[in-house]
Structures are given as C-alpha cells and as structure tokens.
Amino acid sequence: MTRKLYITTALLLSLTFAPVTFARDSFNVCWSIYVGWMPWGYAENAGIIDKWADKYDIDINVVQINDYIESINQYTAGQYDACVMTNMDALTIPAAGGVDSTALIVGDFSNGNDGVVLKGKDSLSDIEGQRVNLVELSVSHYMLARALETVGMSERDITVVNTSDADMVSAYTSDDVTAVATWNPLLSEITSMPDSHLVFDSSRIPGEIIDLMVVNTDVLEANPKLGKALTGAWYEVMTAMQGEGEDAVQVRKELADASGTDLEGYDSQLDSTRMFYDPAKAVEFVNSPELQETMQKVAEFSFEHGLLGEGAPDATFIGVETPTGTYGNSGNTQLRFIPDYMQMAADGAL
C-alpha cells in the first residue's frame, strides 16, 4: 500500500515537472510591447499566424505579456516554446539557465532606440559622479557601460540606481533624478522634457543591441514546422508594413495604436530601429563576423556583473554559436544564431 503510494507520487511528480520535448502540433509563443516586436501582435490579430500555422498543419498560440522580464522567465521555465528578447537577455536568462535557445529570427537592432539622458548638462563626460537611474542588468546598463568606455570612464565613476521601467518617466520628473539610461518609448518621452539632453545613444554602437525571436532549440529541432511557420508569418508582416503605400500606412497605424502612440510616434521609433525587412539582410547580419564580436562584448559584460550564473568561472563559460564560429565553451553551447529559416524566407522556400 505505502509502496504503491510512493511509486504513484514519484510518477506523478516526474510527469508534472519533467519538461517533455517531442514532435507535437501545438505551440505557445510570447511577445511584449516594443517597437520592433509589435508586428507579432499584428500577425496574431490579422490572422497571419493562423494562416501560416494552417499551412504547416500546426497550432500556434501567440500571447502578449505586459512584463518583459516575466515573459522571458516564463519562456525559461518552459511555459512558452518561443519568445521575443534581446541578445543580452537571451544569453543571461535562458542560456545561463541551461535552456538551449536558438535565435530563429533576427528582427532588428537598436540604432538610437536606447539612450543616455542628462538633465541640464549636454556632454556625456558630465555624467561623472552622478546617480544614474536605469533598469540594472538590462541592455540599458550594457549601453551605459559602453558609453562610459567612449569617454574613458567606468561604472566606478558613477552610481547606478535600479529603477523599474514602468516608473522611469515619472521618476525623471523628480528633482533627485539627473541622469537616466533607458529605451523607447520611454526615451522619447524623457528627451521631450525641458532641459533634457540626449548625450549618447545606441546608434553609436550599432548592431550590439539585437532584438530576436528565440525558440527552444530542442523544440525547434523536433518541430521545424514551427520555425517555418513563424518565419513565414514574420516576413509577411515585414512586407506589409514597409513603404508609403496606403495599405502599409494602415498596418503601421495599427502597430502604433497597439503600442499606445500615433503613426508619427511609431514611425519616429522605427527611424531609430534598423528593421531587417528583407530576410536576406538579416541573413547577411547573422553571417557577419561582427556578430561574434558583439556576443563576446555582451558575454564579458554579463560575466563582470555576475549574470552568467555562479558556476561560471569566466566569460567564455557559455558557448554562443554563430555561423562564423562559436564564442566560448563549445561543450556548453546554449545560445545559437542560425540563418537557416531566414535564408528559406529569402529564397521564397517557405
């Protein structure tokens, strides 16, 4: 009797907690609000996701999550098969957590969408000795570290104050806050306030803050259909939203609406985002040797801030695979950049 109970309990527990990966036909994908990710919401609402899912005879459930970090945590915990995130967060959250992840689509990189703003001062070197409000350990933090490098300073010359992104704009109105590092749409809100000076932005480090659609590697390998359907849907929206045609403007209006701004506001955010509308351009970006250098910088920053986990003896602990080679420990590859699916889109093979 007791023995039976033990065995049943053990079985139930292992069923409940063991992540299962094999071929299946229903998938969950999550995304959060950001200029370069809005197309996912549009693809879901306009039925484009369903159209492509039907083509490959699978179900894809696309969910919007309000809290960006929470969405990545949920993905890492195995609740979602794919999720949008930046290259740095992909390395420090799922990859450092042992969830082998593949960057299926490189959607864009920040080209001015992230910036450092000073109140009352107009030169980056004036930041010395100030308290800088930012979301600590985020891409803003990384960008600030890169910004400080350009003027020969380091984080020791300033004090970092962790501030939640939801409170950033109202925090900036307080007299205590004299310097912030943040991203759009918060950034444009803050720079539009009087006496604010944008002293550094991500267009000075182009290609280092990359926005990705990340898929669990095991799931993708067992279900290439998922990769094909997502990639197909994405580039359909990419084609639909670019240009000045009436239809394209209408699509961007919907994207603007969904992100809480108007067409003009959304277009200005797009201006500081290098979108890869053309899959061939994204393939070229992934195949370039610079990607590996960027991931090295990101890995080194992450290691210095203790983001690679305690088991990590140095920045090369986690292997990052790119088409031009692997950075770090190839025995522990947890993050992969592959051009395969984007190449299929470029070839019209989806």
Partner 1 sequence: MKKLINQQPGIVSRWALGLLPFLVIAVIYTAASNARLEENPNDKLLPSSTAMVEAMQRMAFEPSKRTGDYVLWTDTAASLQRLAIGVGLAALAGLVFGIANGAIPLFRAGFSPLITGISLVPPMAILPVLFIAFGLEELAKVMLIFIGITPFIIRDLQLRTMEIPEEQIIKMQTLGANTWQIIVRLVWPQIMPRLISAVRLSLGSAWLFLIAAEAIAATDGLGYRIFLVRRYLAMDVILPYVLWITLLAFVIDFLLNRYSRWRYPWFHGRAS
Q: Given the rule CB under 8 A, which of 42-50, 70-78, 186-194, 197-205 is the region that contacts partner 1?
A: 70-78
117: left (phi over 0), alpha (psi -120 to 50) or beta: beta
Q: Given the rule CB under 8 A, which of 110-118, 171-179, 195-203, 286-294 is the region that contacts partner 1?
A: 171-179
Collect all residues with Cβ–Cβ distance below 8 Å to 300 and sequence separation of at least 6: 315
Q: Given the rule CB under 8 A, which of 50-58, 104-112, 144-152, 306-314 is the region that contacts partner 1?
A: 306-314
Over its C-alpha atoms, the chain yields an Rg (Å, rounded) of 21
Interface characters, 188-227, with partner 1 (x: CB under 8 A) = ----------------------------------------
Q: Is 69 in the site for partner 1 (CB under 8 A)?
A: yes
Q: Return d(Cα 7, Cα 19) in angstroms, integer.
A: 19
Q: Is 92 in the site for partner 1 (CB under 8 A)?
A: yes
Q: Is 173 in the site for partner 1 (CB under 8 A)?
A: yes
How many CA atoms lie within 13 Å of 8's alpha carbon, on the beta-carbon side?
Answer: 5
Q: Return d(Cα 121, Cα 119) in angstroms, integer.
A: 6
Do 53 and 232 contact (CB within 8 A), yes or no? no
> Which run of H or E residues covers position 79?
none
Q: Choose, by CB under 8 A, the member of 46, 158, 160, 263 that binds partner 1.
A: 160
Residues 242-271 that bind partner 1 (CB under 8 A): none
Q: Choose, by CB under 8 A, the member of 50, 59, 126, 155 that binds partner 1.
A: 155
Q: Return d(Cα 215, Cα 212) in angstroms, integer.
A: 9
Q: Is 154 in the site for partner 1 (CB under 8 A)?
A: no
Q: Return d(Cα 234, Cα 184) in angstroms, integer.
A: 22
Q: Given the rule CB under 8 A, which of 165-173, 188-196, 228-236, 241-249 is the region that contacts partner 1?
A: 165-173
Collect all residues with Cβ–Cβ distance below 8 Å to 87 and sequence separation of at least 6: 103, 209, 210, 212, 294, 295, 298
Q: Choose, by CB under 8 A, the member of 110, 111, 113, 163 that binds partner 1.
A: 163
Interface characters, 99-138, with partner 1 (x: CB under 8 A) = x-------------------------------x-x-xxxx
Q: What is the size of the binding site for partner 1 (CB under 8 A)?
A: 47
Q: Choose, by CB under 8 A, the member of 26, 45, 125, 164 that binds partner 1.
A: 164
Q: Choose, by CB under 8 A, the member of 57, 195, 244, 310 that binds partner 1.
A: 310
Q: Choose, by CB under 8 A, the member of 2, 14, 66, 192 that binds partner 1.
A: 14
135-165 b/e (C-beta count within 10 Å ≥ 16 → b): bebbbbbbbbbbbbeeeebeeeebebbebeb
- CA angle 216/219/75 to nearest 5° reads 35
- How many CB atoms sit inside 10 A of residue 290's CB? 13
Q: How far is the CB of 322 from partner 1 (least distance, A)?
A: 21
How many CA atoms lie within 13 Å of 97's alpha carbon, on the beta-carbon side?
Answer: 15
The CA distances from residue 187 to 25, 114, 168, 265, 334, in Å, are: 40, 7, 9, 12, 32
Q: Given the rule CB under 8 A, which of 97-105, 109-117, 209-217, 287-295 is the region that contacts partner 1?
A: 97-105
Q: Choose, by CB under 8 A, the member of 127, 177, 186, 220 that binds partner 1.
A: 177
Contacting residues toward partner 1, per CB under 8 A: 9-10, 13-14, 16-19, 69, 73, 76-77, 92-93, 96-99, 131, 133, 135-138, 155, 159-164, 167, 170-171, 173-177, 304-307, 309-311, 334
